[in-house]
Structure 1
């Protein structure tokens, strides 16, 4: 068994809301909340079922569809749809559900998958992503003591 060295998804997940986000702001792709418009691509596999067609259409309308289209991932999405519909069946194998979750991660359909791909969905009202104000730092740029950073959450009395 291999020891040491970097591993996929090792360490903390990238955080788009980190206090020093400006250092890697250019690495994140902001996807519009409205999603991808237009018809989904042609189904690349054989014999699409009605359930597969419905799921295929809904997935391509998601914001992630823009990135799948950019990177030509029609086949990957179709395989995910096929495995997903198989995993929905009552007599499906447990490991199929694990595969579906892994595929969802790689396609950016889960929160960890979105972070791993460095995608985030713009949920601001007018399309301008507003950065949260850093907490625990005074406007003057000086240091704040640990005591000053503490905040009372509920006053029991």
Structure 2
């Protein structure tokens, strides 16, 4: 009949407005077990820059050995060699620092509650990519900081992304908060109740 609107859905297909969304609990104590093997190679870009700088420094060092190099030309060549050595040393230290940061952060992340799900979903490389961007961000790379923030959201490393992934870190006090109250109910006048005492079935209404 016109104007009556669509037929109501069957009771079995209706969704309750106040229905709660199932959440996947994650252990508060974090993931246990060995840390997965690091899956990525060394930073290709930074390694290439370091190698080129070192090669340039070596070439300038050889140029200083030329017997005809004297006077102002030699002074200028020495300055160039010093600058090249400094650039190569800085890039070497940056690469070493990045590798150390990556290793520490990698081990730390695989002890988190979220790592339990990463392992099940086989997100090893995704986590490694986050570690790489995050390590770059910690030395001041703003573009890397943006990438790390986006990957961190996908991995559930923020409260909002945890909610979006339907993951919930378990409360460490769950299951133990009832214990003190239960112990109080199990005593009467400082005396322990017998197991067959009918008063043991009584509960205080709070």
Same fold (TM over 0.5): yes
Q: Among residues 41, 44, 51, which one is paired with 1:46 in the alignment?
A: 41
TM-score by length of 2: 0.48
Deviations 1:106-143 (A, max 9, x none): 0000011101101111114145899xxxxxxxxxxxxx
Q: Among residues 21, 30, 36, which one is paired with 2:25 in the alignment?
A: 30
> Does residue 58 of structure 1 match 2:53?
no
The whole-number CA distance in structure 2 between the counterparts of 1:103 and 1:128 is: 35
TM-score by length of 1: 0.62
Deviation at 1:79, TM superposition (A): 0.4
Of the structure 1 ranges 111-120 and 121-130, higher mean CA displacement relative to structure 2 is found in 121-130
Q: Cα RMSD over matched residues?
A: 2.4
Aligned residue pairs: how many? 107
Paired residue secondary structure (1:49): helix
Q: Among residues 110, 115, 122, which one is paired with 2:158 in the alignment?
A: 110
**Residues 112, 126 of structure 1: alpha-carbon distance in 2 compared, 3 angstrom cutoff:** closer
Q: Among residues 173, 195, 201, which one is paired with 1:125 in the alignment?
A: 173
**Residues 127, 41 of structure 1: alpha-carbon distance in 2 compared, 3 angstrom cutoff:** farther
Q: Which has the larger radius of gyration?
A: 2
Aligned residues of 1:32 and 1:127 also touching (Cα < 8 A): no
Paired residue secondary structure (2:37): coil
Q: Among residues 130, 136, 144, which one is paired with 1:96 in the alignment?
A: 144
Q: Between Structure 1 and Structure 2, which shows a larger proportion of helix residues?
A: 2
**Residues 35, 45 of structure 1: alpha-carbon distance in 2 compared, 3 angstrom cutoff:** same
Deviation at 1:40, TM superposition (A): 1.0
The whole-number CA distance in structure 1 between the counterparts of 2:120 and 2:167 is: 13
Aligned residues of 1:45 and 1:75 also touching (Cα < 8 A): yes
The whole-number CA distance in structure 2 between the counterparts of 1:53 and 1:124 is: 28
Aligned residues of 2:136 and 2:145 also touching (Cα < 8 A): no
Paired residue secondary structure (2:35): coil
